[in-house]
Amino acid sequence: MSLRTLDTLGPLAGKRVIIRCDFNVPLKDGVITDDGRLRASLPTLNALLDAGARVVAVSHLGRPKGEPDPQYSLKPVAGRLSELLGRPVAFASDTVGDSAHETADALEDGQLAVLENLRFNAGETAKDDAERRSFAASLAELGDVLVSDGFGVVHRKQASVYDLAKLLPSAAGLLIAAELDVLDTLTENPVRPYTVVLGGSKVSDKLGVIDHLLPRVDRILIGGGMLFTFLAAQGHKVAASLLEADQIETAKGYIEAAKEKGVELILPTDVVVASAFGADAEHVVTSADAIEETPFGASGLGLDIGPETAAAFAAAIRASKTVFWNGPMGVFELAPFAAGTKAIAQALTEVDGLSVVGGGDSAAAVRQLGFADSAFGHISTGGGASLEFLEGKKLPGLEVLGWA
């Protein structure tokens, strides 16, 4: 089976099209601080509007507890979409209530409305199948067809992602199609040399990815908080740095497996160690095998890869034809510990081939550090979904669209 795409839905003029987007953007005091996911949704939204559809956009934002919570309202999203699209965007103050029906009914051809946060209704994320299907049935009353374009949630069996796609004629939008094209290349047909850069806090978050990709790549670079578990596996002391003691043997196994498969596993040779967790904390660069020999002793915290490691990682990335990166190299939110992540991002912009930023914190980092989206081959809109795809898992939100 192959993915059902927009052209399988037939003419859309005059039809009410529900589009499941991923508008889960960061907000601060009601202001969107990173609109990358909104901009990623524009190609599909414009295609539907230009086709004369009456578009009802639905999404979640944050983790409200199944009831309305003003701090998670999608109203700022509707406002920003209006600016990005250069046309009015209506907003419904509920999900399937009177406001949603009145707003959807008032749409004319080529007009767009955004409904309030789906997760204000407990049925969206319910574990109970009947409760989820009931909410999906209420959503289905608002449209004739469904376009699923929220890649960041396709690994979730949720009402608007899975159940709704069974109730209405459904197809994937342009964003999901583009994501799958890139991720399929990464797993099935990468141009070599192929390098995977993994960071973030925990080895346990990346076990499936390492298992699935180890036989498929030429080199793996390890940074972020997870690096300290690998250093411990090499027999080094890591002071008070983040350590998953229960994963040390797993890390040892990966080091051995990489040798057996001829995969170059590159671990940090130096790290930035701080006296405490904070932007104003005293910090030094030290060798990866001498972390407890800094002035901070056993209380030192490793918060970034060091400059020697950053240079080695960057060289390995630039020498590659395909690169996938998921997870920051350090605590990039604090300026003294952002250099490693920035070096990786810069190197990805210089790849002569396909460079992929794997969503989540990595996507947030490149934007916060001043890089344009266009500098990379692809920035995924779904960190967790990307990882699960690369683990080889079946994703319910894709299977229901025909992807096998």
Q: Please check if 29 is assigned to a binding site.
A: no
Start-to-end CA span in the chain (Å): 6
Q: Is 192 annotated as a binding residue?
A: no
Instruction: Say if residue 61 carries a ligand binding annotation.
Output: yes
Q: Residue 97 catalytic?
A: no
Which of 110, 278, 384, 402 is catalytic? The answer is: 384
216 vs 200: CA distance, rounded Å: 21
Consult the annotation and say whether 282 binds a ligand.
no
Q: Is 333 annotated as a binding residue?
A: yes
Task: Say which of 202, 216, 252, 318 is annotated catalytic.
Answer: 202
Q: In what order do the strands lie in the sheet with 301-305?
A: 283-287, 270-274, 301-305
Q: Rounding to the nearest 10 degrees, give the CA dihedral for residues 75, 76, 82, 85.
A: -120
Evaluate whether 271 touches 306 at the Cβ level (below 8 Å): yes
Instruction: Write out 342-361 in H/E/C secondary structure.
Output: HHHHHHHHCCCCEEEECCHH
Any known ligand binding at 132?
no
Check if the beta carbon of residue 317 is closer than 8 Å to that of residue 351. Answer: yes
Q: Known binder of ligand: residue 37?
A: yes
22 is in an annotated binding site: yes
Spell out a b/e string for 382-391, using b for 16 or more CB atoms within 10 Å of the CB, else e. Answer: bbbbbbbbbb
360 among annotated binding-site residues? yes
Query: In the chain, what's the furthest Cα-to-Cα distance?
Result: 70
In the residue annotation, 202 being an active-site residue is answered as: yes
- Out of 16, 37, 219, 342, which one is annotated catalytic? 37
d(CA 209, CA 143): 37
Instruction: Report which residue type is found at 124.
Output: E
Q: Judge whether 23 is annotated as a binding position.
A: yes
* 302 marked as binding residue: yes
Instruction: Point out the catalytic residue in the list 360, 382, 383, 397.
Output: 360
- Is 367 assigned a ligand-binding role in the annotation? no
Which residues, 6 or more positions from 66, have their beta carbon under 8 angstroms from its beta carbon? 119, 120, 121, 122, 124, 125
In this structure, how many other beta carbons lie within 10 angstroms of the beta carbon of residue 182? 17
What residue spans of 121-195 are helical by DSSP H? Answer: 129-140, 164-167, 174-188
The yes-or-no answer on residue 157 being catalytic is: no
* Residue 54 is assigned to a ligand binding site: no
**Residue set of the binding site:** 22-24, 37, 60-63, 119, 156, 206, 302, 333, 359-362
**Residue set of the binding site for substrate:** 22-24, 37, 60-63, 119, 156
**Residue set of the binding site for (2R)-3-phosphoglycerate:** 37, 119, 156
**Residue set of the binding site for ATP:** 206, 302, 333, 359-362
Q: Which residues are catalytic?
A: 37, 202, 360, 384
